[in-house]
Structure 1
Amino acid sequence: MSNKYQNPIIDQRADPWVYKHVDGFYYFTASVPEYDRIEVRRATTIQGLGEAEPVVAWRKYDRGPMSANIWAPEIHYIDGAWYIYFAAARTAETNEGLFDHRMYVLENKLANPLEGTWEEKGQIKTKWETFALDATTFEHNGVRYLIWPQKDPGIKGNSNLYIAKMENPWTITGEQVMITTPEYDWEKIGFLVNEGPAVLKRNGKIIVSFSASATNHHYCMGLLYASADADLLNPASWTKLTEPVFQTNEQTGQYGPGHNSFTVSEDGNEDVIVYHARNYKEIEGDPLYDPNRHTRAQVFTWREDGLPVFGNPVPDREASKNK
């Protein structure tokens, strides 16, 4: 029997991140429309996250580098502590089309991260002081890595994806390596963007999904992967699919799906993609400030070559098992 989800799971929560912990709870955080705080909630089912009471983990400052546009938090459990990765800016204004976000980390050592106070661990320092956001982390063969989007001042465009090893959950070490830059037409509509990475370790592969193009109906997901045996810090280890793997579908009424996370079903037997999308195409004003990117979830399957098959974003209020 397949697990079924009724979309949307949560209204007006973009860039959704779901983490299933060993305690049986799904922990959830996402961008709120006001971009002014970070919330965490939990439930024993994915569907139940919509009814769960959110707890504010952190609020933006009135001024300074963490005072505007709090974006895309992720919650991770690493070596006995909870961490939230997020992006924040000094201002909501742009300079030559770019925001001034940097990446930051919070820590909570309590068993239940809905309790207690989150400690600021500071900015994740990278090679450049440029637009950076959407940090994600994973462990492989005893090494922890960070993957994040950033503006390279020497390359045209908004963001490329980089990887580096980590010294601890808030510090990268050694060389940072670019593993993808917007190069195909579907990655360059409106803006040249590769962002929102999420990692799957499966079938002898390290699989990274990412989102591309402007945040309207052109927003879509791409995929790159490396062999689990490869040197992940070698750009040549990574292969990017030439076509998007998840995108707007007029028939199902879903527009701009992307910025996803991965989890598993309640019984652990099925893989689930959690993402945001709108159910309308035309947007008044800047899409970033349209609040109706809702959190959605659906089961996905696998190809014989070991890569995921996401299908189409399913309609609202429909069972989300891919047929």
Structure 2
Amino acid sequence: MTDQVISNPIVLQRADPHVLRHDGQYYFTGSYPAYDRVVLRRAERLEDLQAAEEVTIWTRHESGPQSHLIWAPEIHRVDDAWYVYYAAAPDDQGRADAPSANETFNHRVFVLECTAEDPLTGEWVDRGQVDTGWESFALDATSFVHEGQQYLVWAQEDLEVYGHSNLYIARMANPWTLATPAVELTRPEFDWETKGFWVNEGPSVLIRDGQVFLTYSGAATGIDYAMGLLTADAGADLLDPTSWTKSADPVFVSDPSVGQYGPGHNSFTQTDDGETVLVYHARTYTEIVGDPLWDPNRHARAQVLPFDADGDPVWGTPVPDARPVPDSTEVLAPDGGSMAFLTR
């Protein structure tokens, strides 16, 4: 095991970070603070992503279901093509009848495809909405391939279940079409998952040493935001909810001792020598001015994730910053008009 230390943050002001390592390069995407586009950047080292050129590969539509609040893109490589899963809404308004007196937005899951060798310069084709089986708030789709089959995991609201979003899984016929009905894996039930918002969201999958680890995030996106864990045997039927064991306690939480708050919406990548890296976002302060949605200072971070003798992750705690970060609590205008947040 290496004692590699990654200089954090790896990218400023990019929440919901997703990193894919492919052919010796790290590809990074995350929520752009104005929520109006999908961006990519690439570097040979995680530490170099902050200085890497950021390329806009897709911009929101002027109207319609892909015109507002572009959230949480992820880039994946499937069958020699690139795919970006993201959430978008037709407006920036929530439902007044949403649970817990908190509004639920109107997002759905969409897919972009690029068959060019270079996703930063190649053409991206809009493959449209993923039909998840019913029309309700849906977001945070992630994908993984296991034993030759592609799966999708995402968060969605069930109007008959109290709460904002549960996690679902399905096998895919192709990267934009489900082959099986959605199966619920988890819904908010523990105290830590229901602080402010009743959500299970932001799933990510790591397959290692015969186990499937499915992380997710719960609670409102401030100091209470934290990561939970589902675990399954890699040989089990992943579409069977009984194959999964849910941890009652969060595995990754705020750490005031290092000034890191609300860690979550993670992804996984690898070091040069194959060690697992945990990627996530967090803030450096607890008092947010205005609507937290428009606070840009959730920064992307990364740290090597060790494992114990049984092959289980040793989650630890968020690492302290090694680079300067903004200390402003400036709030972005909902139309993205205020662009004073840092991009370098």
User: 1:158-186 CA distances to partner (integer Å, 9 max, x unpaired)?
Assistant: 10000001000001122210001111100
Instruction: Tell me the equivalent position of 1:80.
Output: 80
Instruction: Tell me the equivalent position of 1:179.
Output: 185
Query: Hey, what's the Cα distance between the residues in 2 that align with 1:306 and 1:150?
Result: 31
Is 2:302 the counterpart of 1:301? no
Query: Hey, what's the Cα distance between the residues in 1 that align with 2:240 and 2:122?
Result: 40
The residue identity in structure 2 corresponding to 1:246 is F
Instruction: Tell me the equivalent position of 2:327.
Output: none
Is 2:108 the counterpart of 1:102? yes
Q: How does 1:43-54 map to 2 (within 5 A)?
A: 43-54=43-54
Q: CA deviation at 1:233?
A: 0.9
Is 2:263 the counterpart of 1:262? no
Instruction: Tell me the equivalent position of 2:11.
Output: 10
Is 2:277 the counterpart of 1:272? yes
The residue identity in structure 2 corresponding to 1:12 is Q
SS at match of 1:174: coil
Instruction: Tell me the equivalent position of 1:140.
Output: 146
Instruction: Tell me the equivalent position of 2:27.
Output: 27
Instruction: Tell me the equivalent position of 1:311.
Output: 316
1:208 paired residue among 214, 224, 229: 214
Instruction: Tell me the equivalent position of 1:250.
Output: 256
The residue identity in structure 2 corresponding to 1:44 is E
Q: CA deviation at 1:304?
A: 3.1
SS at match of 2:138: coil
Query: Hey, what's the Cα distance between the residues in 2 that align with 1:230 and 1:244?
Result: 24
Q: CA deviation at 1:2?
A: 2.1
The residue identity in structure 1 corresponding to 2:135 is E
The residue identity in structure 2 corresponding to 1:47 is E
Instruction: Tell me the equivalent position of 1:234.
Output: 240
Identity of aligned residues (%): 55
SS at match of 1:50: coil
Is 2:224 the counterpart of 1:223? no
Query: Hey, what's the Cα distance between the residues in 2 that align with 1:36 and 1:44?
Result: 27
Specify every segment of 5 or more residues in structure 2 that has no aligned partner in the other structure, as ranges. Answer: 97-102, 324-344
Name the TM-score, length of structure 2 as normaliser. 0.90
Instruction: Tell me the equivalent position of 1:67.
Output: 67
Query: Hey, what's the Cα distance between the residues in 1 that align with 2:282 and 2:173?
Result: 35
SS at match of 2:168: strand
CA RMSD of aligned residues (A): 1.0
Query: Hey, what's the Cα distance between the residues in 2 that align with 1:293 and 1:174?
Result: 35
1:284 paired residue among 285, 289, 292: 289
User: 1:227-248 CA distances to partner (integer Å, 9 max, x unpaired)?
Assistant: 1111111111110111111010
Q: CA deviation at 1:4?
A: 1.7
Query: Hey, what's the Cα distance between the residues in 2 that align with 1:309 and 1:198?
Result: 17
Query: Hey, what's the Cα distance between the residues in 2 that align with 1:159 and 1:307?
Result: 27
SS at match of 2:279: strand
The residue identity in structure 2 corresponding to 1:107 is E
Name the TM-score, length of structure 1 as normaliser. 0.96
Instruction: Tell me the equivalent position of 1:155.
Output: 161
The residue identity in structure 2 corresponding to 1:30 is G
Q: How does 1:187-202 map to 2 (within 5 A)?
A: 187-202=193-208
Q: CA deviation at 1:306?
A: 2.3
The number of residues matched between the two structures is: 316
SS at match of 2:119: coil
Query: Hey, what's the Cα distance between the residues in 2 that align with 1:301 and 1:3?
Result: 11
SS at match of 1:217: coil
Instruction: Tell me the equivalent position of 2:100.
Output: none
SS at match of 1:3: coil
Q: CA deviation at 1:135?
A: 0.5
